[in-house]
Each structure stands twice: as structure tokens, then as C-alpha cells.
Chains A and B, each alone.
Chain A
Amino acid sequence: MIDKNSLALLNARDKAALTAAVNENTATLLRVAWGMGWVGTEAEDIVQQTFVTFLQTVPNFEGRSSLRTYLIGILYKKSLEKRRASTREEAVDPIDQVFEKRFGIAGLWNTFPRGPEDEAASRETAVIVEQCIENLPLDQRTAFYLKEVEHQPTETLCNILGITTTHLGVLLFRARNRLRECVQRKWGKNG
């Protein structure tokens, strides 16, 4: 939540309020931009555009979410525009069939999921994960990133992505399966 007074200061372009907003949110926005797949100066550009759009739309912001959540929401919308990606989730996603095949009758696993399990071995896993995230659509990628990397709560995720909890569940389900299947494939090749 952000109070009306701080919003009024930002709307009036108060130097101290603006400096505080930039200081407190730049690192997060940059991380999320990288998480969404923007690289190099693209990431910095989109963070800048996020702040600019924020300033232009401050009067519309009702302060119901935190400033950070609101800014990440703008960043996500900008990214969707740039990628010209559809926000509409396909009813049929091939990853769902892959998931189905992992189970036999009675819904028990018919294969043993292989892959990294050690959170301490991140350096080794990072190379593989970086390759695999490129296969994710932007909405699945952003949902998984905000959940598993930034540890944002469900309510914040729905707010940022502009979707219901049910839809978020579908995105996370597909992102998890797509990433895990890819990491397992590459993990097998490396060791």
C-alpha cells in the first residue's frame, strides 16, 4: 500500500520522493526485466520506460497495491507490448500431454524424475536453467520467476499479471513442467 501523500508528492514530481522511488525500486525492476528475458541495454531501457509510464499515469494509480507491485505490473505490460505476445492462454499446450505421459494408471509416476535437486549446486545448474527459460512464453516465464525467484505471494502475482488465481495456477503448472522437462533432458546430457 502507498499513502495518498506520497502519491501526491510523486505526482508533483517532488525531487526527494522521486529519488526515493528510483532508489528503492531500480534493482528489483532490473532483476525482473532480466527475469523476463531482456538483456543488456534493453533491460535498462524498459526499466526507464516503466518509470516514465508510471509518472505519466500517477493520477490513475489508486494506491491499492504497493508501489513496487504497481511498477512491476507496468514493466510486465510493456514487455507484452514489445514482444507482441498474446496474453490469452492457449487451451491446449503441448506440455500438458508431456505431463500426462509421466503418469501411469492410478495417477502414479511411471518414471523417476531426474535432474538437479541440490539448491547449493546453483552455479552448475544455472547454465542449464538459462537455456531452458528461453523456451517459456512470457506469461509463464514471468509467473515462475516472480514465484520461485522473487518469492512473491499469489495475490501480488495475480495483481501484476492481471489474472485470476486459477489462471495463475495454469501458468505455473505449465512453466514448472516445461522447465523441469527441459532441465532433465539437458541434465542427462551433461552427466
Chain B
Amino acid sequence: MNPLNCKEVTTRMAMGDLNQFSLKDRMTIRFHLAICLICRRYERQIKAIGSAWRYSIGQKLDSKDLPSLKSRLLHELDKF
């Protein structure tokens, strides 16, 4: 099994869905992440950015009057 370097692992992780890789590639990536603190940290930072963004969108949604928006939308859609 050829080991992947950090740059290759980080690039492959960005592809989103690891399932698109072969089993061998997935295992190589997992193995690298298990031993490489820096790549793990990079991935944790990406997840932290996603969860911070989710937090701010969630805050906005909580303060939104959805029922009145929905009835306004339905009223408008009646015209089409």
C-alpha cells in the first residue's frame, strides 16, 4: 500500500464523499488521518467552520416568523 502524503490526503478529503474512492484509497486516507495530527487538525477546522455557519443560520431561523412567511407565499402563489 503506497502511503499518501498530506497534500494528497487533503486534496482527496475535499472531494466530499470518500465513498467514490476505492476501498484501498479509503483505507490509505483513514490510515493517514489516524497518524497525522496536522491533517486531522485541518479537517477539524473545516468541520468547525461548517458548524459555526450552521449556528448563525440557525439563529436567524429561530428569530424568523415562518408561519406568516408561509401564508404570504401561499397568497402570492394563488395568482399563478
Contacts and interface: CB of A to CB of B under 8 A. Distances in A.
B55 A123 contact: yes
B3 to A, nearest CB: 10
A126 B8 CA distance: 29
Contact of A116 (B11, B14, B49, B59): B49
A122 B51 CA distance: 6
B63 to A, nearest CB: 12
Contact of A129 (B8, B53, B69): B53
Q: Interface SS of chain B: helix, strand, loop or mixed?
A: helix
Contacts of A106: 5
B42 interface: yes
B22 interface: no
A30 B77 contact: no
B48 A117 contact: yes
A27 B61 contact: yes
Contacts, number: 145
A138 to B, nearest CB: 15
Contacts of A72: none
A52 B77 contact: yes
A183 B46 CA distance: 10
Interface residues of B, number: 40
A65 interface: no
A4 B70 CA distance: 25
Q: Which of A48, A129, A130 has the most CB of B within 10 A?
A: A129
Contacts of B27: none
Contacts of A103: 5-7
A113 B17 CA distance: 23
Contacts of B23: none
B1 interface: no
A8 B2 CA distance: 54
Interface string A114-133: 01111101110110111011
Nearest to A168: B16
Interface of A: 13, 18-19, 22-23, 26-27, 30-31, 34-35, 44, 47-48, 51-52, 55-56, 103, 106-109, 112-113, 115-119, 121-123, 125-126, 128-130, 132-133, 144-145, 147-149, 153-154, 157, 165, 168-169, 172-173, 176-177, 179-180, 183-184
Interface of B: 5-8, 11, 14-17, 20, 38-39, 41-42, 44-57, 59-61, 64, 66, 69-70, 73-74, 76-77, 80
Given A22-B77, A107-B5, A169-B16, 6 more contacts: A103-B6, A107-B7, A122-B52, A126-B55, A129-B49, A129-B53
